[in-house]
Structure 1
Amino acid sequence: MTVSTAPEPDLSTWPTGRLLAVAARLVEQRWVAVLAGLDLTHAGLIALHTLRGGPLPQRTLAQRCQVTDQTMSRTLGRLTKAGFVTRTPDPADGRRHVTRMTASGRAVLDRAVRAEREDPGLLGGLGDDDAFRARLLSLIDGLSAGG
C-alpha cells in the first residue's frame, strides 16, 4: 500500500457548496465536543433553548423542536437525569407531562451560548459577529424558501 504524498488541495479552487459542507462538519465536530463538556447533546441544547420561554407540554416541545414524541422522550430522559429539566403531570390533563427547565438547565444553556460567542476556536472568531450571523440567516431563509 502506498501513501499519497500529494500536497493539500488549493481550497480557493473548491466550489462554494463544498467549502460550506467542510466548514459545517468542522464546526459540528468542535460544537459536539463543547456540548459534551457541558453534559449536553445537540438535541438537548435545542430542547433547552425552546424551553427558555417557559414550561411546555412534551408533545408541544417535540413539535417546536421538529422531532418525534419518541425522540423528545429520549432527549428529555437525558436532560432529566442531568438535572436540567423536570417533568411533571399536567394539572389540566394527567395523561400529559409538562417540562420545565431547572436553574441548572438555564445555567448550562447560558454556558453553551457564551461558549459559542466567546470560544474563538469554535467558529473561528465569528461567534459574536452579527453581520456573519445575518448572512447565515439570510442563506438559510433563501434555501428554505426555495426548497
Structure 2
Amino acid sequence: MSTPENLSDEASDFRMATFRLARRLRAERAIDSMSDGQFAVLAALKMHGSHTLGELAERERVTAPSMNRTVNCLEEAGYLTRTPDAADRRKVNITLTPTGLDVVEETVRRRDAWLELALSELPPAERRLLADAAAVMRKVADR
C-alpha cells in the first residue's frame, strides 16, 4: 500500500519519466529549427482544420499577439495561409498549406518510427505493460 510519501515519490518519478520521454519524442522532427510552439500550431490545424487567430491562441493557451508572431513566422515560411472568411469579412481563417501538412506528417512519421524502434528493443512483457499504462495515462490526462 502506498503511503502519502511514497505516492509523492511515485508522482514525481512518473512526471519526470513522462517529461523525459516527451522531450525525446519532440527531438524527432522534420525541421530542426522549428519550435515546439510552431509545430503545435501546425499540428492543431491538421487535426482540427482552419482556425482564426483568436481560436488558435485560445487552443494553445497563449496571447493573441504571441500567436500572431508565430503565425506570421509560419506564414512567411510557407507552412500556412490566411484567407478572409467568406461569411464574415472581419475574420481571417488560418489554414495549413501542403508544405505545412508535409512537415506535420513527416514529424509524426519520425516520432512514431523512433518510438517503434525503442519499443522493439523491449521484451514483450514490458511492451504489454506500456500498452496498459497508455490507457491509464489517457485516463489521468482526461481528468
TM-score, normalization by structure 2: 0.69
Query: Do residues 50 (structure 1) and 44 (structure 2) align?
Result: yes
> Paired residue for 2:81, among 67, 79, 86?
86
* 1:24 CA displacement: 3.0
Give the conservation status (yes or no) of the 8 Å contact 1:35–1:42: no
Letter in 2 for 1:49: A
TM-score, normalization by structure 1: 0.67
Query: How many corresponding residue pairs?
Result: 126
> Paired residue for 1:23, among 6, 17, 27?
17
Select between 27-36 and 39-48 the one with higher mean Cα deviation: 27-36
Give percent identity, aligned residues only.
27
Query: Do residues 118 (structure 1) and 119 (structure 2) align?
Result: no
User: In 2, Cα distance between the equivalents of 1:78 and 1:133?
Assistant: 35
Runs of 5+ unmatched residues, structure 2: 1-7, 120-126
| CA RMSD in angstroms, aligned pairs only | 2.9
What's 2:3 paired with?
Answer: none
> Paired residue for 2:68, among 73, 90, 93?
73
User: In 2, Cα distance between the equivalents of 1:19 and 1:76?
Assistant: 36
State the structure with bigger RCO (CA 8 A, min sep 6), 1 or 2: 2
User: In 2, Cα distance between the equivalents of 1:38 and 1:26?
Assistant: 18
* 1:85 CA displacement: 0.6
More strand by share: 1
Give the conservation status (yes or no) of the 8 Å contact 1:38–1:108: no
More helix by share: 2
